[in-house]
Structure 1
Amino acid sequence: MSKALRVGITGGIGSGKSAVTERLQSRGIEVVDADIVAREVVEAGSSALEKIAQHFGKEVISADGNLDRAALRRIVFSDPDQRLWLERLTHPLIGESIAQQLATAASSYAVLSSPLLLESSQRDFVDHIVVVDVPESVQISRTKARDNNSEELVRAIMAAQMSRDSRLAAADTVIDNSGALAELDQQVTALHEKLLRLSAAR
């Protein structure tokens, strides 16, 4: 028997990946969230966090000893060299943890949710790519409301991500999340049924 289908779910910032993955989790599907893994590898006391503090200074460490993600984000999204340094440190650690979690997933198919799925070697972990898509104006308004970020910062984050056209070109399935939640529910139901069929056919 071949291993379960591995599905990558991605989308630009503010596209609503988590709304899709939450609906799949409620159906018993195991989801590995790359954002959660990225937080775990830099937890207080980790060697990665120690290296980040040495490189960027104490201003990226909050009073409780955890990473001040907002402070770090401001630095790395205004300086590509600093972002590259951070990625070289964290990406191998994140990849290792993701591979381990996908290997032990026991559901009909397993999901990797990652904003950097298509920009990194993480795409090698998956067999089928789902892109959650919204217009860029929706990305900006949702992210500003959710994270209380300036439009300038949101646009800088979007500029650092793969372009919308490139993401859509790489997709095996596209979920349009610009409408009402009822429309999203219908699309996720259809996606789930499709993925069950693809997994059963392996």
Structure 2
Amino acid sequence: MFTAFFIGNIASGKSLATRYLASRGAWRIDLDDLAKSLYEPESEIVKELACAFGMHILDEDGCIITSELAHSAFCDSEHTELLNQIVHPHVKERLARMLVPPVCCAASGSSSSLAVVEISVPKSFVDIFDLADEVVAISAPEELRRERALSRGMQLKDFDARSQAQPSEDELCSLADYVIENADDMAGLLSAIDAWAEHHDIALKEPSDASFRLQGVQDKLGAARERA
């Protein structure tokens, strides 16, 4: 199985990239979702988070209230770093177990030839990049990412706070083995991902997601018009 880590700053398109590949048969792991799956009541990680950020981040059943945790953790870079120091070691341990056979084979299904891992905080995971065959950066200019985030309903102050805690685009790309520029539309990004997969001789299935299938039809129609 070929394993690729996809990194990117907020609103870069890395989630779209990994969802697209999942729709085409890849085994997708989102580290943000993986972290949330570890938030079991009374678990060590939940106790550490409550101690660091306050009991108000827990509901009456002892479960993490993700909105409260986000509000407390992303208020400034110091609190964000504290969150990362608590959560990331647990996530790394779980991810390493998931990617090592036979767990990876059982979890992904025997038909998967590609595993994609979505990483939002790449600098904190550099020490496990050797688990991947390749690190792929999805890069887009900050102004464009800001526009995308605001169009999705994110508040400007929230975007700026998260963006300031992330690496510059140059720093991000320096961490990667392969860079995909996402300064165009969705069709351009999906085409670039297809080219990346073809470069590695990774066979992809037809998209299972209807929106991606529709995009493929539109691309073919556009190409036909250009040839006409």
Deviation at residue 45 of structure 1 after TM alignment:
4.3
List alignment gaps of at least 5 residues for structure 1: 198-202
Q: Give the match for residue 128 of structure 1.
A: 134
Alignment of 1:106-125 (within 5 A): 106=105, 107-120=112-125, 121-125=127-131
- TM-score normalised by structure 2 residue count: 0.75
Deviation at residue 64 of structure 1 after TM alignment:
6.2
Alpha carbons of structure 1 residues 181 and 80: separation in structure 2 relative to 1, 3 Å: closer
Within 1, Cα distance between the matches of 2:4 and 2:115? 6
Q: Give the match for residue 201 of structure 2.
A: 196
Alignment of 1:24-63 (within 5 A): 24-62=21-59
Deviation at residue 149 of structure 1 after TM alignment:
3.3
Within 1, Cα distance between the matches of 2:74 and 2:115? 31
1:127-170 superposed Cα distances (whole Å, 9 cap, x missing partner): 31111111111222222333x43212211111111111111222
One-letter amino acid matched to 1:132: I
One-letter amino acid matched to 1:164: E
Alpha carbons of structure 1 residues 153 and 163: separation in structure 2 relative to 1, 3 Å: same
Indicate conservation of the 8 Å contact 1:29/1:110, yes or no: yes
Indicate conservation of the 8 Å contact 2:29/2:116, yes or no: yes
One-letter amino acid matched to 2:5: G
One-letter amino acid matched to 1:155: D
Tell me the matched-pair count: 193
Within 2, Cα distance between the matches of 1:112 and 1:68? 25
- TM-score normalised by structure 1 residue count: 0.83
What is the aligned-residue RMSD (CA, Å)? Answer: 2.2
Deviation at residue 8 of structure 1 after TM alignment:
0.8
Q: Give the match for residue 180 of structure 1.
A: 185
Deviation at residue 17 of structure 1 after TM alignment:
1.1
Indicate conservation of the 8 Å contact 1:117/1:123, yes or no: no
Q: Give the match for residue 105 of structure 1.
A: 104
Indicate conservation of the 8 Å contact 1:109/1:196, yes or no: no
Within 1, Cα distance between the matches of 2:67 and 2:147? 18
Larger Cα-atom Rg: 2
- The one of 159, 173, 186 equivalent to 1:154 is 159
Deviation at residue 187 of structure 1 after TM alignment:
1.0
List alignment gaps of at least 5 residues for structure 2: 106-111, 203-228
Within 1, Cα distance between the matches of 2:151 and 2:56? 25
1:10-58 superposed Cα distances (whole Å, 9 cap, x missing partner): 1001111111111211221112211111111123443311332233222
1:49-84 superposed Cα distances (whole Å, 9 cap, x missing partner): 133223322222246643233332233233444333
* Matched position secondary structure for 1:12: coil
